[in-house]
Structure 1
């Protein structure tokens, strides 16, 4: 009877999706609901929780350090989007060219940084961008007569180090996404364009970019989330969650500071809910403008 029930054409689809539904409910919906409830309370380990209403959210709106963290995360997101979408797309097009030699070597070389632990990568980049004359970047600058630069003590130079780390780690991953998208574009389109006398630039702008739109939107969506949720890179680059004047503090870093370092779990939950709201608003807005919610005729 049970076997017949499980093999039923009506029941089988639900059996296959049941593990996903259970994981989604247990690891996403339940924690989200708990965090939302916690955000309206004052919760500290060892003390009884008390209801404070919207006090945590009101405090956030006037919290200068939180606003600094939001600004840092937003700037980091924009800078990484400006680098980690056009360049991986360009590299993917070059590697996908049938005349390209050593394409497997370049694929592996670009993807290898993603396999490196972010803790190790952050430590290496901290040493590279160190303020001592012997650090790698300052050694290179010395060749051009430029004195040692304190990269990790300035807002602009600090972001140079952060974006450099992100570019090194994620260019290869995004490039593979675009390579997968390029494989779905029929060669006949390019052959027809060549017969019509189209240049390489025209093929890229009239064929490649429009047909890569779904892949581009996917990469854009995950990159927005990754940019706003960045934390470990900043923590490793500054060897802790206390960068000078909070120049490297992110929203998640501020959540960690309040929840773990200061044992203010209710306030930290409010930070997390605001982060989720910001991410959802930005992503849903860009998906709406890109036409992903429109029904195909």
Structure 2
């Protein structure tokens, strides 16, 4: 009996060195199959010309074409503008709302938390369809009716560059506001209440506590939200697709991922689409590494 227990305890699953790798192996296998393998395959495909029934290496021709492609630069510019405006809204506004929802003086907190989070549970396609109805181009569209009450002419929302960007940013803000509020709420609830009580004893007002206690201690959460928001902004596709599909007037809704989809699955140029994907990966990685460096995430603690 004792020998059997010793034999069992000596198994691989009971080894302190082996057991951790067994438990993390599902994640490692999933990461290698569904993330690392596609990235490597895309990198290889970016040096190929891929047509139905034939694949051949063409060197850096896809990248040479990409450098001269004005549509790609338009897609990058649109994605950068979209990311900028979403960051401008989806960082400070959820933070302020989270502070209010975390306050002990706030009434009906659970109701407002649920209300603000419900859009995150709604399909972006459904949300986009609703937005298209509200911001329709006809005179009897709800938003145009509202504008007419103030003496303004009807607006063709999906035809202009400015109004088109407004629609995409508004849809993203409506969808992701509640998610970022949850992130900031979790960070606020981890701040010791004693710090605020000590500040009250020193005569600090609400603004002083917010800028000298709340914001500094929320830095890790803020950096995380900023990082995922940058990636989310650049990889946006559905918000544009629900308004224009893959072809918008004067490319006002063209994004990097939308252009990748267009080249790969409409024009069947998988090699060029892979080159766009690799450029997209490098661009987002560079921007996020830069913001992590600027925010001090790479500095060693003293």
TM-score (norm 2): 0.96
Aligned to 1:63: 69
Aligned runs of 1:51-130 on 2, under 5 Å? Answer: 51-130=57-136
Aligned to 1:34: 41
Deviation of the 1:294 alpha carbon: 1.7
Deviation at 1:295, TM superposition (A): 2.1
CA offsets per residue over residues 26-82 of structure 1, 9 Å max, x none? 1111110000000000112x2311111111011011101111011000100000000
**Aligned partner (choices 12, 16, 21) of residue 23 of structure 2:** 16
Instruction: Give the corresponding residue for 1:270.
Output: 275
Q: How far apart, CA to CA, are the structure 2 residues paired with 1:137 and 1:11?
A: 62
- Go from structure 1 to structure 2 and tell me whether the alpha carbon gap of 1:2 and 1:25 turns closer, same or farther (over 3 Å shift): farther
What CA distance in whole angstroms lies between the structure 2 residues aligned with 1:154 and 1:80?
19
Q: State how far apart, in whole Å, the 1-side matches of 2:180 and 2:84 are.
A: 16
Alignment pair present for 1:7 and 2:14: yes
Residues 1-297 of structure 1: matches in 2 within 5 Å? Answer: 4-44=11-51, 46-238=52-244, 240-297=245-302
| Residues matched between the structures, number | 295
Name the SS for the 1:49 alignment partner: strand
Farther off after superposition, 285-294 or 201-210: 285-294
Unpaired runs of 5+ residues, structure 1, are none
Structure 2 distance, partners of 1:61, 1:2, is: 61
| CA displacement at 1:16 relative to structure 2 | 1.2
Q: From the CA coordinates, give the structure whose radius of gyration is larger.
A: 2
What is the SS of the residue equivalent to 1:226?
helix
User: How far apart, CA to CA, are the structure 2 residues paired with 1:33 and 1:228?
Assistant: 21
In structure 2, runs of 5+ residues without a counterpart are: 1-6
TM-score by length of 1: 0.98
CA RMSD for the aligned pairs? 1.0
